[in-house]
Chain A
């Protein structure tokens, strides 16, 4: 084989090895490398999002879901600014809860159910209605 063909063969094999071997090294064998990027895409985008629900508990212990955005002053979901629509931490959720308590007259029993995004496609529970937000 002429020397050009040998160079082409060596280059092709080296590059193919890099293309295949890189993700094998980082993803299958879970090693870290500055030079090779694992094809792990979009694994952390959106993890800040939390799911939030406020429920009003009556004297019998039955709970009814509250319309959070309507009680915060946004009758239509699209009218609420993103920083109100999307809650990303417990403190923010509790602030919204206290606002809702004030709108309901302060004597209601409002419970917060909150879980937030976690890696590997999970939700991490932060509040499961343990306490009445309207009680100081």
Chain B
């Protein structure tokens, strides 16, 4: 078989595995909860009704609060998820893009919009939700087994792909001499912390700025590729979370860091997330019994 045929067969096989993949749904549920909290942290203050007095904006704001609450609680989750994704798109494209309300038109709001659409395609309401609670009660009443916390996970790969593309795009944009020498870090240091007094001209300062600039770009490329490699995943997740944590504390990034941290769940095998959750909650259940 030629190399082209072998590669095509491998691609078709891999795509089939992705599309037919099923598994436990706790990871999707954590994604749902994490994104709901991020969305509230990002937008809820600005969408309070006294800030949105015209009809389309008030309607969007009301829809936001209804859908995001249902989404967080996992009530009629599929409808709430798609509803929230639609509302988030209206916030980004209409309020941010058309009405030019700057607060709604940033990369940290765009990643939320993309994340919400992809999570809406997962069975994120089958675990840790009101829907699950009602399903359990129905099963008890009728004496039938409860529905399994199991479902198709093909959209999880899209979430991971989105995170990878964010890192690749960001690293690509920063791959020029000025950033690698640390000049952007210097801009931010002066603007946010030091004021206008010049830094001392010393090899140590030059080295630190160079390390910050080059290190950022190398790390972003490493995260883009390494998070797909099972052996590198755990250490890179730790490094990635630390990286985003440091940025969250040092820079006014709004919810970008926390959103990326939540989306990391898409890289973890769903079975691992469920195993950890079961282990964490099992002693509590044993005490209750």
A residues whose Cβ falls under 8 Å from a Cβ of B: 5, 8-9, 11-12, 15-16, 19-20, 22-23, 27-28, 34-35, 37-43, 45-53, 68-69, 77, 80, 82, 84-87, 93, 117, 120-123
Contact = CB atoms under 8 A, between A and B. Distances in A.
B178 A49 contact: no
Contacts of B251: 42, 45
A20 B165 contact: yes
Contact of B169 (A9, A39, A45): A39
B173 A40 contact: yes
B246 to A, nearest CB: 14
Given A51-B198, A69-B197, A9 B19 contact: yes
B166 A39 contact: yes
A30 B176 CA distance: 16
6 closest A-B pairs by CB: A121-B178, A39-B169, A85-B195, A46-B191, A49-B191, A121-B183
Contacts of B71: none
A47 B187 contact: yes
A15 B118 contact: yes
Interface of B: 15, 18-20, 93, 97, 107, 110, 114, 117-118, 121, 152, 154-155, 157-158, 161-162, 165-166, 168-170, 172-173, 176-179, 181, 183-184, 187-188, 190-192, 194-198, 251-253, 256
A21 to B, nearest CB: 10
B196 A45 contact: no
B161 A20 contact: yes
B86 to A, nearest CB: 15
A101 to B, nearest CB: 18
A122 to B, nearest CB: 5
A44 B214 CA distance: 19
B158 A15 contact: yes
B158 A121 contact: no
Given A46-B188, A49-B187, A23 B110 contact: no
Nearest to A84: B195
A38 B172 CA distance: 11
Question: Which secondary structure dominates where chain B touches chain A?
Answer: helix
B196 A120 contact: no
A16 B154 CA distance: 12
B158 A16 contact: yes
Contacts of B176: 120-121
Contacts of B20: 5
A69 to B, nearest CB: 7
Given A77-B195, A86-B190, A120-B176, A39 B181 contact: no
A38 B190 contact: no
Given A5-B20, A45-B191, A121-B183, 19 more contacts: A8-B19, A12-B155, A19-B158, A27-B172, A39-B166, A39-B170, A46-B187, A46-B191, A47-B187, A49-B187, A51-B197, A53-B197, A68-B196, A69-B197, A80-B195, A85-B197, A86-B190, A86-B191, A93-B196
Nearest to B182: A121
B158 A86 contact: no
Contacts of B194: 85
